Chain A
Amino acid sequence: MIQTFCEWLSNTPASMAIQNAFWVIPTVQTVHIASIAVVMSSILMVDLRLLGVAGRGQSLDAVVGRYVPWVWVAVIVLLFSGIVLIVGEPGRELLSDVFWLKMMLLVCALLLTLGIQRSMRGGGGFWERRRVVAALVALVSLAVWTAILAAGRWIAYVEHG
């Protein structure tokens, strides 16, 4: 069924237009990577603060308030640039196991980030009292976002259906 959908999608005018303009895919990938830079660096700053490694000059909720909104903006740009990439080459993503693994990891990462953001409602005290849990959450967050980035790059290399 996905196969049929991919065939249909790749024959739509939008997909044909992308396929026929050689510059669209690299340009949209560039926007996609710039947005990943925003996500990764913002997440790094939050996670380093959770770990107590950097940013101690500021309270945890100030760090989350400074960086996490940028994650959401970047995720929206990633969603739209990602959709353009899928429309341009449907089979490359939708028939790829690595792509679906990436999407599952993304759901985990988004829920985790949302959870960290919502835990700030009472200030950062929740985490200051649970330093070990905070460090674990930070490491899991870094690992999941890095895995998403890696899966994204490997979509280009792993054989798909």
Chain B
Amino acid sequence: MTLHELFAGLEATPVGTAIRESTWLFPTIETVHVFAITLVLGSIAIVDLRLLNLASRNRSITELTREVLPWTWAAFILAALSGGLLFTSSAVKYTQNMPFKAKMLLMLVAGANMLVFQFGTYRSVSGWDRGTTPTGARLAGALSLALWFTVMSLGRWIGFTT
């Protein structure tokens, strides 16, 4: 089975068909998606701004991430599920859409940035938890902020190019 057949098959599922043909399902799921992505983007920004020493400078980084990141993950799961449902409604069209493809690619890059930070710079966090962050952390924060903002922008452009 080719990828094209897979996406065509996904579109033809009862779920894909229902979302595509209903007048209210797509906007409803899209509203959930927008709700979720605003929380993903905003909560990641709270952590990124701390890594950049631009906000919450008086807070311990481990404490801040413990109170913010569980909500980021919850919102991310909601965004992925709702996004997946939107995708099934026109899978073939989305996989041929340039902003969509760029968005998926940049999410992978954002994930890689997070992993590199988590298993690299972050291992020495006890040394700078309450203080000024090292260059590696500032770089990860700046990249994360730029990447997630771009991901959100590309998401908005999908709606104007399909």
Q: Which residue numbers of A lie inside 8 Å of B, CB to CB?
A: 22, 25-26, 29-30, 33-34, 36-42, 44-45, 48, 54-55, 57-58, 66, 146, 149-150, 153-154, 156-157
Contacts and interface: CB of A to CB of B under 8 A. Distances in A.
A37 B56 contact: no
Contact of B35 (A42, A55, A149): A149
Determine the main DSSP class of B at the interface with A.
Answer: helix
A41 B56 contact: no
A157 to B, nearest CB: 4
Contact of B30 (A30, A42, A54, A153): A153
Nearest to B23: A157
B157 to A, nearest CB: 6
Determine the main DSSP class of A at the interface with B.
Answer: helix
Interface residues of B, number: 29
B128 to A, nearest CB: 18
A124 B153 CA distance: 38
Interface string B141-162: 0000000010011001101100
B68 A45 contact: yes
B43 A41 contact: yes
B43 A154 contact: no
B152 A33 contact: yes
Contacts of B149: 34
